[in-house]
Amino acid sequence: MAVTLYRVAAFPVAGNGGNEAGVVLDADTLTDKEMLSIAKRVNYSETAFVMNSERADYRLRFFTPTVEVPLCGHATIATFNLMRNLELIKSDDLRIETGEGVLNVRILEEQVELQLSVPQFGTPIDPQEVADVLDLDKARLLNYPIQTVSTGIPEIFVGVDSSDTLAKLAPDAERIVTFCRKHGAVGIYVFTLDTRTERADAQGRNFIPLVGIYEESATGTASGALASYLYTQGLLRKNQYYFEQGYALFKPSCIHVTIQTDQEHVTDVHVGGRMRFIDRIVGFTPEK
């Protein structure tokens, strides 16, 4: 089986960096095994497969090199930026079927916005347990609850005191996997309000070895969850957020999140970003 593979990156900064994704259009005839094999050879954090849907305008499935995941923000942003540029989209407001249900996508001139699920919050986690997993002095943690938040993918959110602390993190992958399984999360998102640029509200690093990715350079669903966390915990209350990610991987990324609230609770979350085109490979197969 051979497909046409597009390689693109979502959330770049000034045309550089971002998080790479594979995109396969017209994927209806592919089996689960074939999609996983393609994603494994592509070897990006996720590859998106676009299909027809009876419930929405399109159906998207997402595979890491090792497993299928229900939703991927950056791959969705990349896919619909690509489809807009290829003039394959007939409407600016779309509904897409994913493993997280049917979500809305808004197509803008230079970026795409994806609606995420309403945030769900888990119970607080012992800070010392988190510090041990991250091999970090507990004093470096912000004095705010450490908890799982999900806008589609559950992640554990941990605040630290500075950009320097964030940059020096090098946690052990196996310890993260054990910790995340214990708390029902896919990964750990560590953030700081000490940003590199004035525009940004926070910068983060996302460790998700549980699904075969040690660290991701830009994460759409986690950014939506981070905005929800910052608002709900009272660290930073606003309706539009800009987050930095990927600098530790030399892939600078900027993610835009918009939320709506009813004063105390986040009622709607959208993540948005641009795309950087890498290349197009015709006749791509799982085997080299």
Q: Is 174 a catalytic residue?
A: no
Q: How far apart are CA 189 and CA 255, in angstroms?
A: 14
- Three-class SS of residue 3? strand
Amino acid at 56: A
Q: Decide: 123 and 147 in contact? Cβ < 8 Å.
A: yes
166: left (phi over 0), alpha (psi -120 to 50) or beta: alpha
Q: Decide: 244 and 164 in contact? Cβ < 8 Å.
A: no
Greatest pairwise CA separation for the chain in angstroms: 54
Q: How far apart are CA 88 and CA 159, in angstroms?
A: 41
Q: What are phi and psi of 93, to 5 degrees?
A: -120, 115
State the number of CA atoms in the 13 A half-sphere of 23 facing the CB.
Answer: 29
Number of neighbouring beta carbons within 10 Å of residue 275? 25
- Which of 181, 187, 121, 127 has its CA nearest to residue 156? 187
Residue among 20, 34, 46, 198 flagged as catalytic: 46
- Which of 134, 238, 127 has its CA nearest to residue 176? 134
Q: Decide: 186 and 210 in contact? Cβ < 8 Å.
A: yes
Q: Give the pairing type, strands 275-284 and 120-121.
A: unpaired
Active site residues: 46
